[in-house]
Structure 1
Amino acid sequence: MSSDDEGLTGRGRVTVFAMFGTVFGYATHHLDERRIGDVAVIGPLTPGVEWPRLWQMARSCGRPTAKDTELAQWILTQATRAFVCGSDRIAHFPDRGWKLEPGGKRVSFETTYANRDQLRTGNLTVEGLTPDHTAERPTLYTA
């Protein structure tokens, strides 16, 4: 786990989903020419919400003794659930530009988890989203 001083820019599949009312984006980044999407990129898209909110949700929903790697797995599981099952999915774009701002958090998994080697979280922007895509959603649950 480390703090992330560098940002990241990419283009590819982006899933937009809601969790506890907040809207997040989930994209993948490739570390080499194989383009296997070994890095999960997840961040809030709702205006005014900062990336630590994602980790706060994981802490609220996870085991009280969970370390960052386990919390990162919980975060990646939620994004994967939205991508695969469509649960709380707002939109899915097969080819969209995105940017992860510097200063987020990076966690490397000891072994591949949900087909990803690491998770990078931070404040995320995605090209072409409308206010309707990113607006906070009503929710029955809070975390």
Structure 2
Amino acid sequence: MSSTDEGLTGSSRVTVFAMFGTVFGYATHHLDERRIGDVAIVGPLTPGVEWGRLWQMARNCERTTAGEKELARWVLAQATRAFVCGSDRIAQFQQRGWKLEPGGRRVRFDTTYANRDQLWTGNLTVEGLTPDQLAERPTFYSA
């Protein structure tokens, strides 16, 4: 895990989904020419929500003794669930531009998890989304 002052822009597959009322984006990033999407990019899209909320959700939903890598696996499991199952999915794009703002947290997994070697989280923006797609959703649950 590390905080980073580096931002990142990219264009890849993007899934937009709601979790506990907040809208998040899940994109992939490639570290080399193989283009295998070895990095998962996950961050809040709802205006006014900071990336720390994602980690707070993980901390509240995982077991109390979970370490950072376990929390990162929980985050990636939720994003993967939205991508694969369509649970709480708002939109899915085969190719869409996105930007991960400076700051955030990066976690490298010990072994590949959900086809990803790393999770990078931070404040995220995705091109072309409407205010309605980004708006906080009603929820029965809190995290």
Q: When the two structures are superposed, what TM-score results if normalisation uses the length of structure 1?
A: 0.99
* Correspondence for 1:79: 79
1:72-105 Cα distance to aligned partner (Å, 9 max, x none): 0000000000000000000001110000001000
- Structure 1 gap ranges (5+): none
CA-atom RMSD in angstroms: 0.4
Secondary structure in structure 2 of the residue aligned to 1:136? coil
In the alignment, is residue 136 of structure 1 matched against residue 133 of structure 2? no
Q: For the residues of structure 2 that align with 1:106 and 1:63, how far apart are their CA atoms?
A: 21
- Structure 2 gap ranges (5+): none
Q: Report how far residue 64 of structure 1 moved.
A: 0.2
For 2:98, the aligned partner's letter is W
Q: Report how far residue 58 of structure 1 moved.
A: 0.1
What is the number of residues matched between the two proteins? 143
Secondary structure in structure 2 of the residue aligned to 1:142? coil
Q: For the residues of structure 1 that align with 2:21 and 2:106, how far apart are their CA atoms?
A: 24
Q: For the residues of structure 2 that align with 1:69 and 1:102, how far apart are their CA atoms?
A: 21
Secondary structure in structure 2 of the residue aligned to 1:12? strand
* Correspondence for 1:120: 120
